[in-house]
Amino acid sequence: MKRLSAYFCMMAILIIQPLSAQQSSLSSGESRGEPTQSVEIFEFNTLDKQNRAIHLARQLRCPQCQNQNLMESNSPIAKDLRLKVYVMVNEGKTDPQVIDFMTSRFGDMVLYKPKFEPRTYVLWLGPLLLIMVFGWLGYRKVKASIVA
Amino acid sequence: MIPEIALFSLILGTLCVILGAAIPLFGIATKQPHLSRYSWPLSYGAFAAVTTSICLLAYSFTLDDFSVTYIAQHSNSQLPVLFKIAAVWGGHEGSLLFWVFSLSLWSAAIAFINRHHNQAFISRVLIVLSLLTAAFGLFTLLGSNPFARLFPVPMQGRDLHPMLQDVGLIFHPPLLYLGYVGFSGAFAFAVAALTMPDINIPWPQWSRAWTLAAWVMLTGGIALGSWWAYYELGWGGWWFWDPVENASLLPWLTGTALLHSLIASEKRQALINWSLLLSIFTFSLSLLGTFVVRSGILTSVHAFAVDPTRGLVLLVILAICVVVPLTLFMLQSGKIKPLQLRSIASREVLFLMLNSLLVVTTLSVLLGTFYPMIFQVFNLGSISVGAPFFNAIFVPLALLCFVLMCIAPFIHWRKTNFDGLNVKLILVWIAAVIIGSVTSYLFNQTLSVFVLMVLILCAGIVMSALFAGVSIRHLAMTVAHIGVAITAVGILLVSYNSTEVSAKMSPGISVVLGDLSVTYVETEWVVAANFTAEQAVIEVVNASGELVQLKPQKRHYPVRVMNMSEPAIHSTWLRDIYITMGEKIDSNSYAIRIQNRAFINWLWAGSIMMMFGGILAIGQRYVK
Amino acid sequence: MLNNKFKLILPSLLGLLFVAVMMFALTSQEGQVTPSALVGKPIPAFTASSLSATELVGDNELISNNELLGNSALLDNSIFQTDKNYTLLNVWASWCAVCQSEHGFLMKLAAKDNMRIVGLNYRDDRADANRVLSSLGNPYVTTIFDPDGKIALNIGVIATPETYLLDNKGIVLFRYSGALDETVWQHYFKPFMQLLTDK
């Protein structure tokens, strides 16, 4: 029991050995309720839903871990959220609905794909801008350097 | 006693490099050029001393000397010997010592190989390297001493982290560090060139061999890290766009650009500014990577036990390594021979485009990696930037590079001779389309147009490379570019063609995944040196009736009290069968996850080919 | 002339800027608190049983509409509507060692500072949880029993222990992940409480 506390009581601020945070698994025989087990053997109605759910879970960040998505992490909260994603997709919810569910509870940091909004314009448009700048500068340089 | 000798050795080595920088510098300042001779023996001496130091540390590990704090934190008497040695670089202090060792190694190698070249110039190169080694040596001695003693002496060590107890760990960090540090060579050449009265000395050709060597090591280090993550972490992923991974990719991208830029600089005295700046920035990015990993400034699964004060020292070193060379560059840029082109359809322009693409990619990945931190600094809220962003940016840029790669063999230096080119071009492209389409039809189930396009492009790279010829002159390029194409095909198909299924399995239960029939046979118990495990015996039969047995494990490490799931993998060229044990569901059944990872081994094969191409390029210089 | 001089100093200026930004980022990261997505919003609606009917602390200002169903009392959102200025919602579990390290402080808050604390028992066993409360003391006016973590998921709990500061209507003001102690209390929670009393 006490051993489990080491895995489950993560302090967001404390600097911890990040790897140990990922591999927090329960000692066998310890039942923490249905959800954490059934997420590993969850059955979907269609293969398409399974693929979509897994794809979506990969885009969502485990709120507690040091940079892992819901498919990668075995921490209890990741499993809970993963199961929630599976259940919602299986019920037929759309991707935006699932994403909305997560962000309204855990904030935008749980999305690995940043929303396209004013404060992320630099991020999404930056590369495009860079290509244009380099392209234009390069073109000018090449033309100026031609010595026929 | 031994740790003290090792510490003394390290101090001696640091002293050597301080003198190795001071004496020649003094010689330059007081116009006594003969003092530059001292660079060589001092470099060799430093190398000998630092090597002794790190070897003695490894030796202390094998002796289980837990009176040394570092050994007590990262080792255990039950640990197999190979891992005890690998533990030398398993933590912060030891890995910094490895940095010092790598710096001294590269310095000594450059000193030796280039001993007959322009002595005034090479001496300056060695001065730069000595300064770098001194900086890191002092940092290690004063702030991250691996030889610090522990009292009272513990009976047993804390054990190496189980995730690091693996063959991959033995080679991944050393290769990576050698790669990172190797770019200090190119850096030193560029900075030294910037200080020379005549900047137009042929430094690119000397720098190129060292850049290639560093690039090969870095490619190997990154590929090994990916491979290790793939078979160790249990979910079959191989790249996560984690900040620390990105930190290793950034110098690789600019290093690739540098590699090509140096060819143009050596052959045509073109793109010299690019070569200088890329040399400076590639090593700076290596330093940035080190800073990111050790300071904890970015959230990552890889970060060492982090300490902001350590980060500060690295930050200062990084700042100096950027500011000083750039200032020199500004001073000297007028003296650099200007670019002269005959035509736009020339390889120089192609390389310019490649450099631009790679630099834009680097800046984009850099932007995405640091964006969350910028948000935090300016209080804009919380945000995560992950795989979806990086893939969206990286893939199109990579594909543009691939297009350039297809054209490259047909474009000549100075001015392309278009005679007969059209026919050859068309032949190559027809071949590419045919091969691409056939491959897509045979191997890709998803009928995606994107997959078809990329396969044609990769086939185009291969065909173009082969067209350039397999003569000695072009062999390196051919091999390396084909390596890139193979890696790309692997990445593409593993993303699109992989399938998986998870099921509750107990002895006797069977599950079907595509053409595979998977049966759980029995559960075994395994006892090893420092762990115990439950092991599932699973049999997989494919469509042709061939049977393989896989044994995934759930391991328990008593010393660190950790559980790890160890996957079982069966590899073939077309796919990996990848099985992991999940939760124990009841007394005899487990959640078993079975994955079909398509074409994953093409990734590793392609990486090895790329490295091989790099090695050929180094060897090529001596065959001429 | 000036242009040349400027070009020369430019790298140094940029370098200085870079170092400054990084240093700032490094130092500001110490003591980071992940803000809750619910700040400014009420705790989502829920119904749950309390940890035990007999643990209704004999306090007058209790849950007015609670029904006794056999052994359990039923709780819902209304427990956050209060006459007091604030409520603390503390997420804890019997298996969480760090939670027990903050338990003493919670007892002090409840007794000396007269703070109203509602507990959220997260993914726990009823008997184990009650045992902890009877042996270490009960700082909570009531405890919500959440064995599957469903309520916690809706609130956005990411770790244990966690403490939410709510106003008298049940709106979330602040969330702290980690064990409470005097320093944390003074640094993070007190400023909020000054704010409201100043109004």
Residues 6+ apart with CB under 8 A from B48: B13
Percentage helix, strand, coil for chain C under 3-state DSSP, each rounded to 5: 40, 20, 35
Give me the residue from C8, C11, C25 closest to B297, CB to CB. Answer: C25
- Residue B510 has a pLDDT of 92
Q: How far is A62 from chain C (nearest CA, A)?
A: 9
Evaluate whether B179 touches B217 at the Cβ level (below 8 Å). Answer: yes
Evaluate whether A78 touches A65 at the Cβ level (below 8 Å). Answer: yes
Give me the residue from C14, C19, C22 closest to B297, CB to CB. Answer: C22
pLDDT in tens, B368-411: 999 998 888 888 888 899 999 999 999 999 999 999 999 888 88
Percentage helix, strand, coil for chain A under 3-state DSSP, each rounded to 5: 60, 5, 35
CB pair distance less than 8 Å for A32 and C123: yes
pLDDT in tens, A16-55: 333 333 333 333 223 344 455 577 778 888 888 988 998 9
Evaluate whether C95 touches A1 at the Cβ level (below 8 Å). Answer: yes
Give me the residue from B315, B322, B382 closest to C35, CB to CB. Answer: B382
CB pair distance less than 8 Å for C8 and B327: yes
Question: Residue A109 pLDDT more than 60?
Answer: yes
pLDDT in tens, B497-518: 888 888 889 899 999 998 899 9
* Chains with at least 3 CB pairs less than 8 angstroms from chain B: A, C
Give me the residue from A58, A59, A123 closest to B371, CB to CB. Answer: A123
* Residue to test with chain A: of B384, B531, B590, most A Cβ within 10 A: B384
Between helices B347-377 and A121-145, what is the axis angle to 10°?
150
- CA C105 – CA C168 distance, rounded (Å): 22
- CA B211 – CA B221 distance, rounded (Å): 15
Q: Which residues pair with B519 in a beta bridge?
A: B510, B539
Interface of B with C (CB under 8 A): 291, 295-297, 308, 311-312, 315-316, 319, 322-323, 326-327, 329-331, 373, 376-377, 381-382
Q: What is the mean pLDDT of chain B?
A: 89
Residue C45 contacts A where some CB pair is shorter than 8 Å: no
* Residue to test with chain C: of A2, A3, A4, A5, most C Cβ within 10 A: A5
Interface of A with C in 111-140 (CB under 8 A): none
Question: Residue C146 pLDDT more than 60?
Answer: yes
- Residue B535 has a pLDDT of 92
Is B518 strand, coil or helix? Answer: strand
Residue C32 contacts A where some CB pair is shorter than 8 Å: yes
Chain A residues with CB-CB distance to C127 below 8 A: none
C117, amino acid identity: I
Q: How far is A13 from chain C (nearest CA, A)?
A: 6
* Residue to test with chain A: of B253, B383, B399, most A Cβ within 10 A: B383
- CA A40 – CA A45 distance, rounded (Å): 15
pLDDT in tens, B255-297: 999 999 999 999 888 889 999 999 999 999 999 988 888 887 8
* C-alpha closest to that of C34 among B517, B236, A105: A105
- Residue B92 has a pLDDT of 86
Is C55 strand, coil or helix? Answer: helix
Q: Do the bridges between strand B499-505 and strand C47-49 make them parallel or antiparallel, or are there none, so unpaired?
A: unpaired
Q: Which residue has the tokens 């293969």?
A: A47
**Of residues C174 and A10, which shows the higher confidence score?**
C174
**Of residues B331 and B608, which shows the higher confidence score?**
B608
Question: In terms of C-beta density within 10 A (0-12 exposed, 13-18 middle, 19 or more buried), how is residue B541 classed?
Answer: middle
Is B264 strand, coil or helix? Answer: helix
- Residue C1 has a pLDDT of 58
* Chains with at least 3 CB pairs less than 8 angstroms from chain A: B, C
Residue A9 contacts C where some CB pair is shorter than 8 Å: yes
* Residue to test with chain B: of C3, C8, C29, C175, most B Cβ within 10 A: C29
Tell me which chain A residue has its CA closest to the CA of residue C180.
A11
Q: Which residues pair with B568 in a beta bridge?
A: B579
pTM: predicted TM-score of the whole model, two decimal places: 0.88
Q: How far is B361 from chain A (nearest CA, A)?
A: 8
Q: CA dist B410 to B405, B424, B473, B579, Å?
A: 10, 9, 15, 46
Give me the residue from B308, B323, B329 closest to C12, CB to CB. Answer: B323
Mean predicted confidence (pLDDT) in C27-49:
79
Strand intervals (E) in B464-574: 499-505, 510-513, 516-527, 532-541, 547-550, 553-557, 562-566, 568-571
Tell me which chain A residue has its CA closest to the CA of residue B580.
A40
Chain A residues with CB-CB distance to C98 below 8 A: 5, 9, 11
